[in-house]
Structures are given as structure tokens and as C-alpha cells.
Amino acid sequence: MSSDLLVDLNDDLGVDDPPSNALDLLKLSPMGDKLWPPDDSSMSKSETDISKRLGEGSHLTWDHPYYDIARHQIVEVAGDDNFGRKVIVFNACRMPPHHELDHHKLLMYLKATLDQYVESDYTLIYFHNGLTSENKPSLSWLRDAYREFDRKYKKNIKALYIVHPTMFIKTLLILFKPLISFKFGRKINYINYLSELEDIVKCEQLVIPTRVRDYDEKIRASLKASVQAQMSPPRSPPLPNQQFGVPLPMLRARRSDNEAVPLVMQDTVAFLMEQGLEIEGIFRRSANVTLVKDVQHRYNSGEEVSFSQMEDVHLAAVILKTFLRELPEPLLTYQLYNDIVNFHNVDSSSQVTAIRNMLAMLPEENYASLKFLIEFLVQVSAQSEINKMNNANLAVVFGPNLLWGQDAAMTLSAIGPINNFTRTLLDQHHKVFSP
């Protein structure tokens, strides 16, 4: 993986000033200009059910102004990466031929999607494989698109990962070098194989198109055995004091006080209650990657962690989200998944009762931890005039960390309903958790 992308290769490639037809002259992906067969989207059953309910392949209803764009699933949102940043995915292979796609509307749809997340730190993953002469946008459109995304969108993007780059995309970046700032250029990284993404985000939470997976397997098979990437080692048993990635009942059983709320949640919430309630954008910022891994290691080794000595409020916020995201089963449990993604069908007058009935099915540790978390988030929201984190914003941040499908894949089709449920949970907390 490399971030040194905008090196001067002009002499090697014979590129001077970019001609108007430069994009048409560039070599595309190794599959050439072949047309692709229909994509099955690699969607889980739960995701497929949601898509059928909301419209084939779309999280929007058929009469929405962006429905004809959303149905192609070119743009997706896939929860958080390993550093607590929202993940936006762009699938080139899902772009239909030119005559079937309004590229201006695609740009507006992408902006509308990003508008929900650009106030937070976020990561953009671009799956390049599948871009052909049939569906590639014009050079002028790419130039206008880059200019359309002003500082509002570029400020909080922490990384752009280009998966399966070709000479086409590398040359394109050279052509755009005069337009791309040095600071933004440093955020661009090449990903040659899907396995390299695991350092950034759990691939199981991405709905990666079948053709992208097939292409990855094809290029891996062409490698010599001596240079094949190593497979991920099997998951090892939890350490005696491990806190992350451990079932809640096991964490409770280890505690001498039989406390149902995990230590990491208690520590982070206690610190944030004292230091974080008036921090603008709390839970929207990422933290130093090395520090995050160090804190996790210290917790898993049984060491005491003091956030007050680290002088970084956002570190505690990221650790709280990371703990929830790494639970073997989400806090709201797989059992409630279908009920929650269909919660929008419940009449508003019956929603509190419905939520109480759902939460009554949670294990004791899950219920206690959820109640503890929601009551804290309500305190955060009470200071929203200062910290800018109202219930709607908190739901966007925490929804994907409270629930995901059993296959862990996340798309806009699932995230919307989950966030809406979380928003209702926050709005009605005093009724939901009353005796």
C-alpha cells in the first residue's frame, strides 16, 4: 500500500499538458472494454430483504429524486473503519453505460450522501475494477467533480483508498496533479489486494461486488506461491484479561463485583462525562492510530488505563466506539436485527411499547450496557448547543456500532433504519427505560 502517488512520471508516460481527449486514450482495467454480466451484489439475505422492501437495489423509495441513481448501488456507506471513521464506498463496476446514467445527478447524489457524514472524519474506498470504455466518465466531468467537492468535503476525509489501481488511474492522477493539493495528495493510497484492506476496515462489513472479489482472486492466482499474501491467522482464544472482542457474559464473569457494564465502557464514559460534554464534534473525530492500538493492548493485558493522563478527549470517544464495534455480537443482538430494520412500520403511538418489548429480549448484560450508554448519550445531547451533537447526529455515529447483520455487511439500506431506531431510542429514552 502506497501513499506516494503523485510522483512525476510524466517523462515515462509521455504526458505533457493533458489533452482534451486524454481520458479516452488511457488504458483501462486489465479486463479491457468487455461488458460485465449483471452483478449479484454479494448481498446477504438480510440486506436483500431490505432492498426488496425499499426498492430493488436501493435504500430509497421509487419516487425519490435520486432513486434512479441509488438503485445501482454505486455509492454505499459501510459503518466505521478500524479507527472510528465513517466508511464511504464507491463501486466503479456498478456504473452503467453512459446513456443509462445521468452523471450530473450522480455527482449530486454523492454530495447528498457525503453531506450526512462530512462533519465527521471519514474514509473513502474506491473499487476501481470494472471501469470500462462503456461506463467511464469524461475527463471534464472528473475535473468538475473534483472542483465541486470544496473544503467542506476534503477537510475531514482522512484517507482515499484506490483498490486494484491500474495504469489508467495512476496516469489520471498525474493529469490532475495541477488541481490536487499536496495535502490531499498525501491522503491517497493504493490497495493492490483486498487483504490489504483489513488493516483499515473489516472486509466482512463491506458489500464487495462479486466481480471485484473474482478479479482479486484472479490476480492472486497469477502470483507465484512464494509471493502470495499470507492468509489471516485463525482467531486465537481471548487473553485472560482481554476486553476487546470478548462476549459480554465472559467480561462480567471475570469481574469480582459481577458488574454487567464492561470496564471499557465505564472508564470511557466516566472520563467523557467529566471532560467531553462540551467538546464540539465529540465522537466525530478520529484519534491517533498508534494510541488507539496502545490503549487496546493495555486493556487486553490487564493494565490500568487513565485517559486523563493522555490529554486527548477524542481518544476515549474512539475507544468507546471501537469496543462496541468489536463485540462478537452487536449490543442490540442479531435476534433483534429484523425487528429493528423494520421498525419504521410501527405506528408512532406504539413505538415505545414496541421498543420496550424488543429490549426485554436482550440478555441482562446487553440491556444494562445499552441503558448505561443511552443515558450517557442523552447527557451529551443535552449540551448540543455547545458540542453540536444532538440526538440525530449521535444516532448517525452510534447506530452502526450498536447493530449489524450476522454477516457483518453494512449498506445504506440497513444503516438508515438502524440510525432511525437509535434516534427514537434516544428521543424516548425516559419512557423506554422507565421502571
| pTM of this structure | 0.73
Length of the chain, please?
435
C-alpha cell recorded at residue 166: 491500474
What value does the mean pLDDT of the chain take? 82
Under the banding of pLDDT at 50, 70 and 90, the label for residue 20 is very low
Q: What pLDDT is recorded for position 424?
A: 97
Q: What pLDDT is recorded for position 16?
A: 37
176, burial (CB in 10 Å: exposed 0-12, middle 13-18, buried 19+): middle
Sign (positive or negative) of CA dihedral 161, 164, 167, 169: negative
H helices of 130-200, in order, are: 139-148, 151-154, 167-175, 182-185
**8 has a pLDDT exceeding 80:** no
Strongest mean pLDDT among 72-76, 79-83, 355-359:
355-359
Query: Residue type for 399, please?
Result: G
C-alpha cell recorded at residue 262: 464492561
The percent of residues above 70 in pLDDT, for the chain, comes to 82
Under the banding of pLDDT at 50, 70 and 90, the label for residue 261 is very high
Which residues have a Cβ under 8 Å from the Cβ of 347 and sit 6 or more positions away?
Answer: none
Q: What pLDDT is recorded for position 146?
A: 80
User: 272 vs 140, which has greater pLDDT?
Assistant: 272
User: 5 vs 223, which has greater pLDDT?
Assistant: 223
**249 has a pLDDT exceeding 70:** yes
The closest of 329, 352, 336 to 401, measured between CA atoms, is 329
Average pLDDT over residues 23-33: 41
Q: What pLDDT is recorded for position 58?
A: 57
Under the banding of pLDDT at 50, 70 and 90, the label for residue 224 is low
Q: What pLDDT is recorded for position 13?
A: 36
User: 191 vs 148, which has greater pLDDT?
Assistant: 191
**5 has a pLDDT exceeding 80:** no
Q: What pLDDT is recorded for position 408?
A: 62
SS3 131: coil
Rg (CA), the chain: 23
Q: What pLDDT is recorded for position 11?
A: 35
C-alpha cell recorded at residue 352: 415505545
Kindly list the distances between the CA atom of residue 234 and the CA atoms of 193, 230, 247, 330, in Å, as whole numbers in the listed order. 20, 12, 18, 21
- Give domain limits for the chain: 66-225, 248-433
Q: What pLDDT is recorded for position 237?
A: 66
The percent of residues above 90 in pLDDT, for the chain, comes to 49
Which of 1.10.10.10, 3.40.50.800, 1.10.8.60, 3.40.525.10 is the CATH number of 66-225?
3.40.525.10
Q: Domain 248-433, what architecture? A: Orthogonal Bundle (1.10)
Which residues have a Cβ under 8 Å from the Cβ of 270 and sit 6 or more positions away?
Answer: none
SS3 163: strand
C-alpha cell recorded at residue 7: 510522483
Phi and psi at residue 389, to the nearest 5°: -115, 85
Average pLDDT over residues 149-153: 81
C-alpha cell recorded at residue 369: 450496557
